[in-house]
Amino acid sequence: MKMLQPPTTPIEPLTPRQVFETVKQHLLAQNAKSVARAPGVGCLYRGPRGMKCAAGALIRDEFYDPSMEGCMVRSEKVRNALRCSGVMDDSIDMVADLQRVHDLVSVGSWPAELDVIEISRLGGCGMKDQP
């Protein structure tokens, strides 16, 4: 297991809004879950064909470690990779919510579920209310 070191060039911290928008854009563009090909393995931070889950979309390549697979978003290993990638602790609960959408919600229901997270976590109006 590699030890993550803070970046030599500081990474600008992401605001909660930036975290949400990054994941939302990623999930809606990918339009598929990042899952293992082997049965029973489940969702992956980094999957086949460049797929990424919600949290995986936030983890910069230099801070990704395959040993994170199978770890929860709130685990120290994943939180450290997120911190090094600019995701601050005040966004971790929202990242866990976004991860739940990726892992447990059907892809067709993602837009509505993302609206719920936006409204509850950021006070936004959701996609359906935007022009």
Spatial CB neighbours of 50, under 8 Å, sequence gap ≥ 6: none
Q: What is the pLDDT of residue 2?
A: 54
Residue 43 in contact with residue 33, Cβ under 8 Å? yes
Residue 118 lies in a domain: yes
Q: What is the pLDDT of residues 80-94, one digit of tens each?
A: 999 999 999 999 999
Q: What is the pLDDT of residues 32-82, one digit of tens each?
A: 999 987 766 689 999 999 999 999 999 999 999 999 999 999 999 999 999
Q: What is the pLDDT of residue 129?
A: 42
Backbone angles phi, psi at 14, to 5 degrees: -85, 140
Residue 100 lies in a domain: yes
Residue 36 lies in a domain: yes
Residue 4 lies in a domain: no
Residue 3 lies in a domain: no
- Count of the separate structural domains present in the chain: 1
Give the domain extent around 88. 16-124
Residue 76 lies in a domain: yes
